[in-house]
């Protein structure tokens, strides 16, 4: 893991091409405090079947089937960042959200990646949601349809 930045906010880990990485706990705290907007960049199917964070903005980076780019992504994240609000990008495991954070930064927005994502890393049985991630972290709100 990278050392935290020295910007006075020890919760942010430095990253290349976007504002930095934050843990799911930090993302939740920032969301609750109104400090940043949580943007779920997973597919509509993932949010519907696996679960979602109440209050998050849905802006899929890619869509199923075929994992094609969402042509409305730029407009959706610009709307989410209205008024200069920073964005926190959430995906399944923290990979697509890096690409989304980089794209937001290219558009002139402030964007963070949420480490471990919604479902987290694979465990020793090659299963998610048992090791880390939003869904696994005790006390963080999420719902399933």
Q: What is the pLDDT of residues 110-138, one digit of tens each?
A: 999 999 899 878 788 887 777 788 998 87
Per-residue CA distances from 126 to 1, 6, 65, 119 (Å) = 22, 36, 23, 12
Q: What share of the chain is helix, strand, coil (3-state, %, to 5)?
A: 25, 15, 55
Residue 24 lies in a domain: yes
Residue 97 lies in a domain: yes
- Read off the CATH number of the domain in which 108 is found: 3.40.250.10
Crossing angle for the helix pair 73-80 and 96-106, to the nearest 10 degrees: 80
Range of the domain at 70: 20-114
pLDDT at residue number 35:
95
- Of 22, 55, 100, which is closest to residue 47 (Cα–Cα)? 55
Residue 47 pairs in a beta bridge with none
Domain count, the chain: 1
Whole-number average pLDDT of the chain = 89
pLDDT at residue number 4:
35
Check residue 102 and give left, alpha or beta (phi > 0: left; psi -120 to 50: alpha): alpha
């Amino acid at each position: 893991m990278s050392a935290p930045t020295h910007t006075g906010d020890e919760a942010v880990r430095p990253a290349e091409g976007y504002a930095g990485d934050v843990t799911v706990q930090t993302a939740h705290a920032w969301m609750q405090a109104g400090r940043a907007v949580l943007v779920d960049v997973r597919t509509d199917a993932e949010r519907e079947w696996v679960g979602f964070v109440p209050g998050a903005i849905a802006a899929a980076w890619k869509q199923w089937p075929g994992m094609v780019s969402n042509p409305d992504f730029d407009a959706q994240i610009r709307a989410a960042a209205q008024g200069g609000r920073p964005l926190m990008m959430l995906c399944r495991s923290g990979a697509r959200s890096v690409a989304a954070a980089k794209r937001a930064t290219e558009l002139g927005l402030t964007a963070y990646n949420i480490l471990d994502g919604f479902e987290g890393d694979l465990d020793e049985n090659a299963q998610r949601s048992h090791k880390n991630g939003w869904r696994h972290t005790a006390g963080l709100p999420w719902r399933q349809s």
